[in-house]
Amino acid sequence: MRESSILRRHQFVLGCLAMVFFGTQAGCTADRSSVLAAGIQRGNVKRGEYLTAVFGCQECHTVRQADEVHLDRKLLFAGGVPFPVEEKGQVYSANVTVSSQYPEQVLDGLIRGRLAFKFQMPTHVYNEMAADDMRDIIAYLKTLQPVLRPLPDNSLPPGFVLPPPNPPVSVPAHEPRAGTLERGAYLSRMSLCQDCHSPHNATGTYDQARLFGGGGYKVRLPDGRLLIPSNLTPDPEDGLGAWSDADIIRAIRTGFARDGRQLDHVMPYLTAFHDMTDQDAADIVRFLRSLKSVRGDGSTRE
Protein backbone atom coordinates (compact mmCIF):
# COMPACT_ATOMS: atom_id res chain seq x y z
CA MET A 1 0.00 0.00 0.00
CA ARG A 2 1.28 3.44 -0.89
CA GLU A 3 2.58 5.61 1.99
CA SER A 4 0.33 8.44 0.79
CA SER A 5 -2.74 6.21 1.21
CA ILE A 6 -1.62 5.30 4.71
CA LEU A 7 -1.15 8.99 5.50
CA ARG A 8 -4.61 9.92 4.22
CA ARG A 9 -6.20 7.13 6.24
CA HIS A 10 -4.20 8.21 9.30
CA GLN A 11 -5.44 11.80 8.97
CA PHE A 12 -9.03 10.64 8.36
CA VAL A 13 -8.96 8.51 11.50
CA LEU A 14 -7.56 11.43 13.47
CA GLY A 15 -10.41 13.60 12.20
CA CYS A 16 -12.97 10.98 13.23
CA LEU A 17 -11.36 10.62 16.63
CA ALA A 18 -11.46 14.37 17.01
CA MET A 19 -15.20 14.44 16.34
CA VAL A 20 -15.70 11.64 18.87
CA PHE A 21 -13.54 13.54 21.34
CA PHE A 22 -15.55 16.71 21.04
CA GLY A 23 -18.77 14.75 21.40
CA THR A 24 -17.73 12.74 24.44
CA GLN A 25 -16.16 15.72 26.18
CA ALA A 26 -19.28 17.87 25.90
CA GLY A 27 -20.40 16.99 29.40
CA CYS A 28 -17.26 18.31 31.09
CA THR A 29 -16.59 21.26 28.75
CA ALA A 30 -20.10 22.33 27.86
CA ASP A 31 -19.57 26.00 28.67
CA ARG A 32 -16.39 26.30 26.58
CA SER A 33 -17.86 24.36 23.64
CA SER A 34 -21.06 26.40 23.58
CA VAL A 35 -19.11 29.65 23.69
CA LEU A 36 -16.80 28.48 20.88
CA ALA A 37 -19.69 27.37 18.70
CA ALA A 38 -21.62 30.57 19.32
CA GLY A 39 -18.54 32.66 18.58
CA ILE A 40 -17.92 30.91 15.28
CA GLN A 41 -21.56 31.35 14.24
CA ARG A 42 -21.13 35.09 14.77
CA GLY A 43 -17.93 35.12 12.72
CA ASN A 44 -17.34 37.97 10.28
CA VAL A 45 -17.20 36.23 6.89
CA LYS A 46 -15.78 39.24 5.05
CA ARG A 47 -13.00 39.68 7.57
CA GLY A 48 -12.34 35.95 7.46
CA GLU A 49 -11.82 36.18 3.70
CA TYR A 50 -9.33 39.01 4.22
CA LEU A 51 -7.45 37.07 6.90
CA THR A 52 -7.15 33.96 4.72
CA ALA A 53 -5.37 36.16 2.18
CA VAL A 54 -2.93 38.03 4.44
CA PHE A 55 -2.24 34.97 6.63
CA GLY A 56 -1.17 32.96 3.56
CA CYS A 57 -4.00 30.41 3.47
CA GLN A 58 -5.12 31.25 -0.08
CA GLU A 59 -1.50 31.32 -1.25
CA CYS A 60 -0.73 27.78 -0.08
CA HIS A 61 -4.02 26.09 -0.95
CA THR A 62 -4.56 27.52 -4.46
CA VAL A 63 -2.63 26.57 -7.59
CA ARG A 64 -1.35 29.39 -9.78
CA GLN A 65 -2.36 30.34 -13.28
CA ALA A 66 -0.22 29.45 -16.29
CA ASP A 67 1.90 32.56 -15.64
CA GLU A 68 2.93 30.92 -12.32
CA VAL A 69 2.35 34.27 -10.62
CA HIS A 70 -1.38 34.83 -10.09
CA LEU A 71 -3.69 32.44 -8.26
CA ASP A 72 -6.24 30.46 -10.26
CA ARG A 73 -9.34 31.97 -8.68
CA LYS A 74 -11.55 29.23 -10.19
CA LEU A 75 -9.69 26.75 -7.99
CA LEU A 76 -9.47 28.96 -4.91
CA PHE A 77 -8.67 26.75 -1.90
CA ALA A 78 -8.98 23.58 -4.01
CA GLY A 79 -5.46 22.47 -3.01
CA GLY A 80 -2.80 20.72 -5.06
CA VAL A 81 0.14 23.08 -4.47
CA PRO A 82 3.34 20.99 -4.21
CA PHE A 83 5.73 21.29 -1.26
CA PRO A 84 8.98 19.37 -0.76
CA VAL A 85 9.46 17.05 2.21
CA GLU A 86 13.12 16.75 3.15
CA GLU A 87 15.14 15.81 0.03
CA LYS A 88 13.18 13.00 -1.59
CA GLY A 89 9.54 13.62 -0.88
CA GLN A 90 6.70 15.86 -1.94
CA VAL A 91 3.25 16.57 -0.56
CA TYR A 92 0.35 18.61 -1.93
CA SER A 93 -1.75 21.11 -0.04
CA ALA A 94 -5.22 19.94 0.93
CA ASN A 95 -8.50 20.84 -0.73
CA VAL A 96 -10.24 22.97 1.89
CA THR A 97 -13.28 23.86 -0.21
CA VAL A 98 -14.99 20.99 1.63
CA SER A 99 -14.74 22.81 4.98
CA SER A 100 -18.52 23.07 5.24
CA GLN A 101 -18.60 19.31 5.84
CA TYR A 102 -16.63 19.57 9.10
CA PRO A 103 -17.63 20.85 12.54
CA GLU A 104 -16.10 24.17 13.56
CA GLN A 105 -14.17 22.58 16.41
CA VAL A 106 -12.52 20.09 14.05
CA LEU A 107 -11.50 22.87 11.64
CA ASP A 108 -10.07 24.82 14.55
CA GLY A 109 -8.01 21.81 15.63
CA LEU A 110 -6.80 21.08 12.11
CA ILE A 111 -5.68 24.65 11.40
CA ARG A 112 -3.86 24.78 14.73
CA GLY A 113 -2.21 21.43 13.95
CA ARG A 114 -3.61 19.81 17.07
CA LEU A 115 -5.31 16.88 15.32
CA ALA A 116 -2.64 15.86 12.80
CA PHE A 117 0.81 16.87 11.64
CA LYS A 118 0.40 19.14 8.58
CA PHE A 119 3.82 19.00 6.87
CA GLN A 120 4.72 22.43 5.48
CA MET A 121 1.65 24.19 6.88
CA PRO A 122 2.93 26.59 9.58
CA THR A 123 0.67 25.26 12.30
CA HIS A 124 3.27 26.23 14.92
CA VAL A 125 2.24 29.81 14.05
CA TYR A 126 -1.50 29.25 13.68
CA ASN A 127 -1.62 27.29 16.94
CA GLU A 128 -1.40 30.66 18.73
CA MET A 129 -3.94 32.50 16.54
CA ALA A 130 -6.41 34.65 18.45
CA ALA A 131 -9.83 33.06 18.90
CA ASP A 132 -11.65 35.87 17.11
CA ASP A 133 -9.41 35.60 14.04
CA MET A 134 -9.88 31.83 13.92
CA ARG A 135 -13.63 32.30 14.33
CA ASP A 136 -13.76 34.64 11.31
CA ILE A 137 -11.55 32.42 9.14
CA ILE A 138 -13.69 29.36 9.84
CA ALA A 139 -16.88 31.33 9.20
CA TYR A 140 -15.52 32.23 5.76
CA LEU A 141 -14.20 28.74 4.93
CA LYS A 142 -17.62 27.26 5.63
CA THR A 143 -19.12 29.47 2.89
CA LEU A 144 -16.90 27.92 0.19
CA GLN A 145 -18.54 25.84 -2.53
CA PRO A 146 -16.90 22.39 -2.70
CA VAL A 147 -14.63 21.87 -5.69
CA LEU A 148 -14.23 18.12 -6.15
CA ARG A 149 -11.14 17.20 -8.11
CA PRO A 150 -8.40 14.56 -7.79
CA LEU A 151 -5.09 15.65 -6.33
CA PRO A 152 -1.68 14.04 -6.92
CA ASP A 153 -0.56 11.41 -4.47
CA ASN A 154 1.85 12.49 -1.76
CA SER A 155 5.26 10.82 -1.79
CA LEU A 156 7.24 10.56 1.43
CA PRO A 157 10.95 9.81 1.88
CA PRO A 158 11.81 6.22 2.88
CA GLY A 159 11.68 5.83 6.64
CA PHE A 160 9.88 9.13 7.16
CA VAL A 161 8.36 9.27 10.64
CA LEU A 162 5.21 11.34 11.03
CA PRO A 163 5.78 13.92 13.80
CA PRO A 164 3.13 14.31 16.50
CA PRO A 165 0.40 16.99 16.38
CA ASN A 166 0.94 20.30 18.13
CA PRO A 167 0.13 20.44 21.84
CA PRO A 168 -2.60 22.81 23.03
CA VAL A 169 -1.34 26.26 23.99
CA SER A 170 -2.96 29.29 25.57
CA VAL A 171 -4.94 31.23 22.96
CA PRO A 172 -5.88 34.89 23.38
CA ALA A 173 -9.53 35.76 22.89
CA HIS A 174 -8.68 38.75 20.68
CA GLU A 175 -5.75 39.90 18.61
CA PRO A 176 -3.80 42.82 20.16
CA ARG A 177 -5.20 46.34 19.88
CA ALA A 178 -4.56 48.22 16.62
CA GLY A 179 -1.70 50.71 16.72
CA THR A 180 0.40 48.75 19.22
CA LEU A 181 3.75 47.00 18.86
CA GLU A 182 2.06 43.85 20.13
CA ARG A 183 -0.33 43.87 17.21
CA GLY A 184 2.51 44.42 14.75
CA ALA A 185 4.36 41.47 16.28
CA TYR A 186 1.21 39.32 16.07
CA LEU A 187 0.54 40.22 12.44
CA SER A 188 4.15 39.64 11.44
CA ARG A 189 3.83 36.09 12.80
CA MET A 190 0.40 35.28 11.38
CA SER A 191 1.30 36.76 7.98
CA LEU A 192 4.43 34.55 8.06
CA CYS A 193 6.92 37.42 7.81
CA GLN A 194 8.80 35.99 10.78
CA ASP A 195 8.67 32.45 9.43
CA CYS A 196 10.11 33.38 6.03
CA HIS A 197 12.65 36.00 7.13
CA SER A 198 14.08 34.40 10.30
CA PRO A 199 16.85 31.78 10.23
CA HIS A 200 16.40 28.55 12.15
CA ASN A 201 18.86 26.77 14.41
CA ALA A 202 19.88 23.11 14.38
CA THR A 203 16.73 22.08 16.29
CA GLY A 204 14.46 23.63 13.64
CA THR A 205 13.27 26.46 15.89
CA TYR A 206 13.88 30.17 15.30
CA ASP A 207 17.33 31.58 15.95
CA GLN A 208 16.14 34.08 18.56
CA ALA A 209 19.29 36.22 18.21
CA ARG A 210 18.57 36.79 14.51
CA LEU A 211 14.79 37.07 14.27
CA PHE A 212 13.82 38.75 10.98
CA GLY A 213 17.52 38.82 10.03
CA GLY A 214 16.92 37.07 6.71
CA GLY A 215 17.63 33.63 5.34
CA GLY A 216 14.71 31.70 6.80
CA TYR A 217 12.71 30.15 3.95
CA LYS A 218 15.16 29.50 1.12
CA VAL A 219 13.72 28.71 -2.32
CA ARG A 220 15.47 27.24 -5.35
CA LEU A 221 14.21 29.18 -8.39
CA PRO A 222 13.63 27.54 -11.80
CA ASP A 223 16.83 29.10 -13.16
CA GLY A 224 18.84 27.48 -10.38
CA ARG A 225 19.37 30.59 -8.26
CA LEU A 226 18.78 30.29 -4.52
CA LEU A 227 16.34 32.91 -3.26
CA ILE A 228 17.15 33.93 0.30
CA PRO A 229 14.63 36.15 2.16
CA SER A 230 16.03 39.55 3.04
CA ASN A 231 16.89 41.16 6.36
CA LEU A 232 13.88 43.02 7.76
CA THR A 233 15.62 44.50 10.81
CA PRO A 234 16.54 48.23 10.95
CA ASP A 235 20.20 47.68 9.99
CA PRO A 236 21.10 50.67 7.74
CA GLU A 237 23.22 48.62 5.34
CA ASP A 238 21.86 45.08 5.33
CA GLY A 239 18.29 45.71 6.46
CA LEU A 240 15.51 48.30 6.24
CA GLY A 241 17.23 51.11 8.13
CA ALA A 242 17.48 53.34 5.06
CA TRP A 243 13.91 52.62 3.93
CA SER A 244 11.02 54.94 4.70
CA ASP A 245 7.74 53.59 6.04
CA ALA A 246 6.23 54.22 2.62
CA ASP A 247 9.05 52.24 0.97
CA ILE A 248 8.36 49.23 3.18
CA ILE A 249 4.59 49.35 2.69
CA ARG A 250 5.02 49.64 -1.07
CA ALA A 251 7.27 46.56 -1.05
CA ILE A 252 4.75 44.62 1.02
CA ARG A 253 1.83 45.47 -1.25
CA THR A 254 3.41 45.71 -4.70
CA GLY A 255 6.76 43.96 -4.53
CA PHE A 256 8.73 47.03 -5.59
CA ALA A 257 11.90 47.54 -3.56
CA ARG A 258 13.26 50.93 -2.51
CA ASP A 259 15.57 51.00 -5.55
CA GLY A 260 12.75 50.09 -7.95
CA ARG A 261 13.62 46.41 -8.31
CA GLN A 262 10.72 43.99 -8.63
CA LEU A 263 10.92 41.38 -5.89
CA ASP A 264 10.42 37.74 -6.82
CA HIS A 265 6.78 36.64 -6.63
CA VAL A 266 7.71 34.06 -3.98
CA MET A 267 7.12 37.08 -1.76
CA PRO A 268 3.30 36.92 -1.96
CA TYR A 269 2.56 40.57 -2.63
CA LEU A 270 0.27 39.71 -5.57
CA THR A 271 -1.44 36.75 -3.95
CA ALA A 272 -1.71 37.85 -0.33
CA PHE A 273 -0.56 41.32 0.66
CA HIS A 274 -1.75 43.61 -2.16
CA ASP A 275 -4.99 44.43 -0.32
CA MET A 276 -3.49 44.67 3.17
CA THR A 277 -5.19 47.49 5.09
CA ASP A 278 -3.36 50.71 5.94
CA GLN A 279 -3.65 49.91 9.65
CA ASP A 280 -2.23 46.39 9.35
CA ALA A 281 0.65 47.54 7.14
CA ALA A 282 1.47 50.43 9.50
CA ASP A 283 1.41 48.14 12.55
CA ILE A 284 3.82 45.69 10.91
CA VAL A 285 6.20 48.50 9.92
CA ARG A 286 6.08 49.97 13.42
CA PHE A 287 7.01 46.59 14.85
CA LEU A 288 9.86 46.03 12.37
CA ARG A 289 11.28 49.43 13.34
CA SER A 290 11.40 48.28 16.98
CA LEU A 291 13.63 45.26 16.31
CA LYS A 292 17.30 45.04 17.11
CA SER A 293 19.43 45.54 14.01
CA VAL A 294 21.04 42.38 12.68
CA ARG A 295 23.90 42.54 10.20
CA GLY A 296 24.42 40.02 7.42
CA ASP A 297 27.28 38.51 9.41
CA GLY A 298 24.91 37.67 12.24
CA SER A 299 26.09 40.33 14.69
CA THR A 300 23.56 42.59 16.38
CA ARG A 301 23.59 46.27 17.24
CA GLU A 302 21.31 48.36 19.41
pLDDT, mean of residues 88-117: 95
**Among 51, 41, 61, 77, which residue's Cα sits nearest to residue 137?**
51
Residue 8's identity, in one-letter code, is R
pLDDT of residue 223 exceeding 70: yes
Mean pLDDT of the chain: 84
According to the model, what pLDDT value does residue 33 have? 37
pLDDT cut 70: percent of the chain above it = 84
pLDDT of residue 14 exceeding 80: no
Give the chain's domains with CATH numbers: 3-141 (no CATH), 181-301 (1.10.760)
Asked if residue 191 lies in contact with residue 284, where contact means CB atoms within 8 angstroms, the answer is: yes
Torsion angle in degrees (nearest 10) through CA of 85, 208, 192, 249: -140
Residues 6+ apart with CB under 8 A from 295: 235, 237, 238, 301
Mind listing the pLDDT tens digit for each residue in 161-188? Answer: 888 999 999 999 999 999 999 999 999 9
pTM of the predicted model as reported, rounded to 2 decimal places: 0.83
163/113 Cα distance (integer angstroms) = 11
Residues 6+ apart with CB under 8 A from 20: none
Bridge partners, residue 67, by sequence: none
89/47 Cα distance (integer angstroms) = 35
In this predicted structure, which of 31-45, 118-132, 228-242, 256-270 has the lowest mean pLDDT? 31-45
pLDDT of residue 58 exceeding 60: yes
pLDDT, mean of residues 259-269: 90
